[in-house]
Amino acid sequence: MPLIISTIVFAVFTSLLFISKIGEASYAFLVAATAILGLVLHGFDRLKEVDLKNLRIVLRELQDTKKELFVREEKLKSMALPLAQIVAFTGASEGRMSSKETWAAKRKWYKKKVEELISNLDLTDTEENEARKYVDKYEEIDQLLAERESLTSTDPDYAVIKEKIERISSDMNELMRLEYET
């Protein structure tokens, strides 16, 4: 960068000499001073900082700050996926003992909020699937229950639906077990 600035200044001084605004002696002095200053600034790292009335900008510090911000962004992203999973799981499982309308509305609300969280996090497809997996499991249960508020032993398809719900519950337990064991 200092060499580029020196080249530009050299071109300016040459044009001033060409239009007779400065003399040959002044031109020689200015070009020599510019060349020396450009080489000194190019060669010494300690001089690669600008101090304008106590406003210091040091290239090293800016690069370190950039690295630190990147690390913090990665840390926040790594915390956000488990948070999305917790929100999805609690939202999907909450309110099962209330009326069908209440838990259906809560489930839709939670699903919408999880989708907003996922879209704001810029997650990969795999991470998105991880965040949604509990919501998806509870949607399977909702589809099995269809229009019923609950499964009763007098339902004609009680045994089939109960077995499917138990399988989904077992799958969710296995998902959670794998997560806390790793």
80 to 67, 114, 119: CA distances (angstroms): 20, 11, 12
Give the per-residue pLDDT at 50.
59
Across-strand partners of 50?
Answer: 57
pLDDT digits (tens, 9 = 90+) for 22-80: 888 888 888 888 888 777 777 666 555 655 556 666 666 777 777 787 777 777 777 77
Write down the domain spans for the chain. Answer: 2-47, 66-181
Beta strands in the chain (DSSP E): 49-52, 55-58
Residue scoring higher pLDDT (88 or 153): 153
SS3 55: strand
pTM greater than the 0.85 cutoff: no
pLDDT higher than 70, residue 157: yes
Task: Identify the CA nearest to 110 among candidates 130, 87, 86.
Answer: 87
